[in-house]
Structures are given as C-alpha cells and as structure tokens.
Amino acid sequence: MTLTTIILTLLTLTPHLTTSYTPLSDASLRLIPSGNSDFDIHSGALLAPILIPRVPGTPGSEAAQHHFVNFFRTHLPAWEVEWHNFTSTTPATGDKQVPFRNLVFRRDPPGVKGGDVARLTLVAHYDSLYRPEGFIGAVDSAVPCAVLMHVARSVEGALRAKWEGTGGGDGLGEEVGVQVVLMDGEEAWVSWTDEDSLYGARALAETWSGEGQRGKDDGEDGVGVFSNRLESISLFVLLDLLGSGNPTVPSYFAKTHWAYEHMATAEKRLRELGLLETKEAKPFLPDLQKKSYQFTMGYVLDDHVPFLQRGVDVLHIIPTPFPPVWHTMDDDGLHLDIPTIRDWAKIVTAFVAEWLELDGLLPPLASDEKVGREHSEKDEL
C-alpha cells in the first residue's frame, strides 16, 4: 500500500467514525413509496408538467419554476422556498442579459438556528438545452427533478413525526436538515467551456461561499456551527441523466465512497426484499466493493464542480456510459423507462430517510402504492 492509498483510506473511513447512522429496518424499507402514477409521462403530477423545453428565460422555464414552487407551497408548506436569481450573457444570445433562477427548498428542524443545521443537499438541474430547438431533456434532467420532489414529499411525514414536540434538535450544536436545490443553467448554450456551462451552480456556489448565515433567511440568531451555506452542506447529492433503462452508476469519489455504499446497500436490500420493479442482472449502483486504490481522478463535469472545488463532499449519481438518448431529440417522455424511474425514487428516498434517521417514523403507504406492497404482504404470511 502506497502512502497515497493510505491517505485515501483514512479520508474514506473518517465519516464512518463520526456519523451516527442507523440503517432502516426491513419494515421501514417496505414503507418507501415509489411515486407510482406520479411519474406517468402524460398525466403524472410530478413529471408530466415539466416534459417541455425549459431554456432559461423562456416561458417553459417559468412554467417549470411555477410547478416546483406550487408543489412545495401546496404539499410541503414547512419547506422554505428560496429563489436565487441572477442574470448572465451567453455566447448564443449576445449582449442580452438572460435571467437564471436557482430554486432552493429547505427543511430545518424547528426552533434551531439556521447556522447550526448541516443539510443533506439534493440537487438536479431543471434547465434544458438551447439547441436542438424543441429538445425536452427528460433524463436531462426533468426526471431527477421529479424524483427529488417525490423524495421530499416521502420524508415529510416522518420528519414531522420526528420533530413534533421536541422543538427540533437536541440543542447540543449541529442539527440535521435537508434541502432540495433545483439548479438552472447547467447546459452549455454553444459548446461546453468553463464560462459556457454551469451558470446556476457557479453563481450559487459563489454566493453561498461568501454569504454569512446572518441574514433574513436564517432568523436573527446569526452564525452558529457553520460560518456559511457551503460549509453547512453535509453532502451534495447530484442526480443527473436518470430515467433510461439499465443504468450503471459508478462510485466516482473515494472521499465519499462511504455515502455511495449507503445508497448501494439501500438498493441491494430493496432488491432482496423484492421491492424494486426492475429485475436487471446488474444493480444500478454496482460499485459496492470498490476499494480506495481503484479510484481514479476522473469524473463527469456537472453542477457539483463549483462545490467540489470549494471542498464540499459530493455524491454524483450519473450513469457511465450516458444514456443513448443523451443530448438528442430522443431524450423525451416516450424513451423513458418508468419502472427504472420508480426504482430510483425508492432508492433515493430510502437513502435520504436513512440519513435523516427516520426509521420507524414512515407513515403507512397510500392505497395506490401497490408495487412491492403485495409482495411484502405475501412475505408476512
């Protein structure tokens, strides 16, 4: 073992030692909802409204923003809605200032200082490619956005149960919260360069690194455990290019492989319990056994880069190779694999529920959540 390997190993192991982590019981895994018909491409409440072109500064982009904000205001009123608005020129649009809007939906324990909350940060981009005209971007990234809406909805009841009456955290310092970031301007307008790409992520990372916690968003309590919003990101989980069949998502970073292991283990357990719909020979997350010396420096350029460069821990859930429909007109609703989407919805929800320590707190499944339910009832006979 070389010195480098030893260092990587230590980095890999440290979070294990410092994070308390209770796996979900089998009973809790059976209560993870799939989203069911909400991922229908024609009528699904989460997905169908955003299967439209969503180029920044166009009506489609505004429609997507309204869809997200209305969903949280209506169904998840305890989640604070935060707009991050800015403008930029692009190489395709000349001198015109194009409006970009990142959206952040934040759920902190009640009665806790904003600066004390370490937030699991779930990220996807909602903008779509400028060209070809009419491009939808179903896997890129309407589906990941819809999956994150589902995840937020699926953990809210358990979060409420957990925080009810306790006034939130234990008052002993760092508390655990969660936020969904729907990023604008991920795509290049002409061709990918450092300046023509990641408009939203670059602006948000810059704002969050310079911005103290003191401010109207965080109450008057001021700086706590964390001195800025970047530091308070416990893990940056980025979903991208999900929704095609047979995905293979490798573990990209030795430093956060421990988190990958948690998600891959959730997938494995859900599969073993017969709770997933896809019956692939190969799991979506096959790198459970990857060793620290097997990691290379290679990774996919995406919204995590400006955060990674500032030291944020990242878990990147993106398939390699990319789905065949990537950046073609075929990246539309009809080319999606809906069982794969519902399985991602379950896997990510299980990962988040485990992170937020919601074992035993998940409410009963809705009656239309038949998949897996029938199976689990059979198991219990």
Ligand X SMILES: *[C@@H]1O[C@H](CO)[C@@H](O)[C@H](O)[C@H]1NC(C)=O
Q: At which residue do the structure tokens 């009419």 appear?
A: 134
**CB neighbours of 304 closer than 8 A, spacing ≥ 6?**
123, 201, 236, 238, 312, 314, 316
Which partner, Zn ion, ligand X, none, binds residue 192 by CB below 5 to 8 Å per kind?
Answer: none
CB closer to Zn ion, 140 vs 218: 140
Q: Which of 140, 186, 313, 337 is catalytic?
A: 186
Of 21, 83, 192, 293, the residue at the interface with ligand X (CB under 6 A) is: 83
Residue nearest to Zn ion (CB): 140
The reply to whether 101 sits near ligand X by the rule CB under 6 A is yes
DSSP β-ladder status, 98-107 and 80-88: antiparallel
Closest-CA residue to 138 (of 244, 249, 245, 284): 244
116: annotated active-site residue: no
Which partner, Zn ion, ligand X, none, binds residue 85 by CB below 5 to 8 Å per kind?
Answer: ligand X
82: annotated active-site residue: no
Neighbour-count burial of 4, counting CB atoms closer than 10 A to its CB (0-12 exposed, 13-18 middle, 19+ buried) = exposed
Which partner, Zn ion, ligand X, none, binds residue 332 by CB below 5 to 8 Å per kind?
Answer: none
Please state whether the peptide bond connecting residue 250 to the residue before it is cis, i.e. omega within 30 degrees of 0. no
Counting residues that bind ligand X (by CB under 6 A) gives 3
CB closer to ligand X, 74 vs 289: 74
Which partner, Zn ion, ligand X, none, binds residue 108 by CB below 5 to 8 Å per kind?
Answer: none
Site string for ligand X, 311-330 (x = CB under 6 A): --------------------
**Identity at 127, one-letter amino acid code:** D
Measured CA to CA in angstroms, residue 162 lies from 167, 233, 359 at distances of 10, 21, 10
Of 22, 70, 85, 309, the residue at the interface with ligand X (CB under 6 A) is: 85
C-alpha atoms less than 13 angstroms from C-alpha of 233 in its C-beta half-sphere: 25
Instruction: Count the neighbouring beta carbons within 10 Å of the beta carbon of residue 369.
Output: 17
Which partner, ligand X, Zn ion, none, binds residue 140 by CB below 5 to 8 Å per kind?
Answer: Zn ion
CB closer to ligand X, 104 vs 353: 104
DSSP β-ladder status, 314-317 and 233-239: parallel
C-alpha atoms less than 13 angstroms from C-alpha of 366 in its C-beta half-sphere: 11
Site string for Zn ion, 106-145 (x = CB under 5 A): ----------------------------------x-----
Q: Which of 127, 175, 218, 240 is catalytic?
A: 240
Kindly list the catalytic residues. Answer: 186, 240
Binding site for Zn ion (CB under 5 A): 140
List residues binding ligand X (CB under 6 A): 83, 85, 101
